Copies of this chain bind each other. A is one copy, B any other.
């Protein structure tokens, strides 16, 4: 069966899954958690196959680490599912209720988006995490994982499919794709797939965005900034920049470029250089930076680069407005932080920086669904529509308008026999 037919089946399943009760979905999630534990040995065995083959194929160490899916990772997955079960159902919430007229009641009610296409690299935990998030939010899912994790992904998809089948979830709600050709095919199926969530490298995400008419939720670059203002406390600024840069360098919310107010630069940069050198961070700087600390020159390319490494570029700016303009021009709309004691400058920065996450006196590394308290995260979005910043369950739902009448027709209103009342109802959708 080709991807087109599979996607059509998934679409059909999505209609049924959308109507499933919260309790039923939670029972199915619990069944997945139980099956993961029960079939632990099979999963670990499949993962060892993947690991063995990948070692032979000289997969780099960091990727091998991400590929590993052992007892402890399975236990993490089970914990995640148990937390997910406790979260409120995002589906069926009445967002608005209006009496358009006597006996004519409008309700805006949340519902699943439908079919989500998820494409992820290596980490098999992503398969468990995303498919359970989709189930909780009533969405069907077409998954494609990295080929290096094929055996692990296959067994995980099997565990989830069988567990949900047992729990009465509509058949075909989850399908695993295994080849790149299938992904190319999938990108064309806007008739059946409502949203694509890519999780992987920048180039990979950009390729998806460029090659599909289906909306994409996610981010390519994470070029995050710290801006140390004239009125910054220097110790606090050093701590925040060091954390933003070095707490975990390989992630999208790590800081890549530091902007410093010219009046703070002379006092701040030497302190920072000492602190960063202890962490082996390589610094490049603009000419004004180089006058204060001995560092290599930063080029235009540096301002556009997501290092994901122990590297930092530094630019001295005239004022908060130059910092804001630099960020809006070179940034990726991900996460940017101002360090200042001036409330006025903080307010200006947070109003004018056009990013999903704008921070005052804290590390860019806080930009994360778990830290934000969402319990579960689909990913971080730099889109300007639908969902921005860390996306939890609510990024996987949309809404329907439901109107209940008693034979009402529009002619009566255009003939002025009746007029609209538009009363707030504050009622839940009754059916």
Binding site for B on A (CB under 8 A): 14-16, 18-19, 98, 100, 104, 106, 113-114, 194-195, 209-210, 213, 215, 217, 233, 236, 239-240, 242-243, 247-248, 324, 328, 343, 346-347, 350-352, 354-363, 365-367, 371-373, 383-386, 388-390, 398-411, 413-414, 420, 422, 431
Contacts of A403 in B (CB 8 A): 357-360, 362, 366-367
Bound-state CA distance A363–B413 (Å) is 12
Contact A405/B360 with A100-B373, A385-B215, A410-B247 known, Cβ cut-off 8 Å: yes
Rounded to whole angstroms, the CA-CA distance of A328 and B8 in the bound complex is 12
A374 to chain B, nearest CB (A): 9
Contacting residue for A407 out of B240, B398, B410, CB 8 A: B240
**Contact across chains for A362 and B98 when beta carbons are under 8 A apart:** no
Q: In the complex the two chains form, is B398's CB within 8 Å of A384's CB? A: yes
Shortest CB distance A304–B (Å): 13
Residue of B nearest to A395 (CB): B385
Residues of B within 8 A of A240 (CB): 407, 409
Given contacts A209-B213, A410-B366, contact A402 B114 (CB under 8 A): no
Q: Please name the residue on chain B nearest to A236 by beta carbon.
A: B407
Question: Least Cβ distance of A222 to chain B in Å?
Answer: 14
B247 close to A360 (CB less than 8 A): no
Shortest C-beta distance, A340 to chain B (Å), equals: 11
- Told that A362-B408, A386-B398 touch, could you supply 13 new A-B pairs with CB distance under 8 A? A15-B324, A18-B351, A18-B354, A100-B366, A194-B385, A215-B384, A240-B407, A243-B410, A361-B405, A361-B406, A367-B403, A371-B413, A385-B385
In the A-B complex, the 6 residue pairs with the closest CB atoms: A362-B405, A243-B409, A373-B422, A365-B410, A347-B431, A236-B407
How many copies of this protein are present in the complex? 2
Complex contacts, A236 vs chain B, CB 8 Å: 407
CB distance from A410 to the nearest CB of B (A): 4
Are A362 and B239 also in contact (CB < 8 A) when A372-B401, A389-B400 are? Answer: no
Query: Which of B354, B398, B400, B402 makes the CB contact (< 8 A) with A15?
Result: B354
Task: List chain B residues, Cβ under 8 A from A113.
Answer: 384-385
CB distance A398 to B385 under 8 Å?
A: yes
Q: Say yes or no: B18 contacts A352, CB within 8 Å.
A: yes
Residue of B nearest to A424 (CB): B373
In the bound complex, do residue B363 and residue A409 qualify as a contact, i.e. CB atoms below 8 Å apart? Answer: yes
| Chain B residues whose C-beta falls within 8 Å of the C-beta of A195 in the assembled complex | 384-385
A96–B407 CA distance with the chains assembled, in angstroms: 39
A386 CB, nearest partner CB in chain B, Å? 4
Provide a sorted-by-A list of 10 A–B residue pairs whose CB atoms are within 8 angstroms.
Answer: A15-B328, A194-B384, A239-B407, A248-B410, A355-B400, A358-B402, A359-B403, A362-B405, A365-B409, A366-B408
* Chain B neighbourhood of A213, CB < 8 A: 209-210
| B-side contacts of A363, CB under 8 Å | 405, 408-410
Residues in chain B near residue A362, CB distance under 8 A: 104, 403-409
| Residues of the B chain whose Cβ atoms lie less than 8 Å from the Cβ of A390 | 401
Contact status B104-A350, CB under 8 Å: no
Q: Check A408 against B361 for contact (C-beta < 8 Å).
A: yes
Known contacts A100-B371, A213-B210, A431-B346; decide if A359 and B405 are in contact (CB<8 Å): yes
Bound-state CA distance A356–B402 (Å) is 8
Residue in contact with A371 in the complex, picked from B215, B361, B410, CB distance below 8 Å: B410
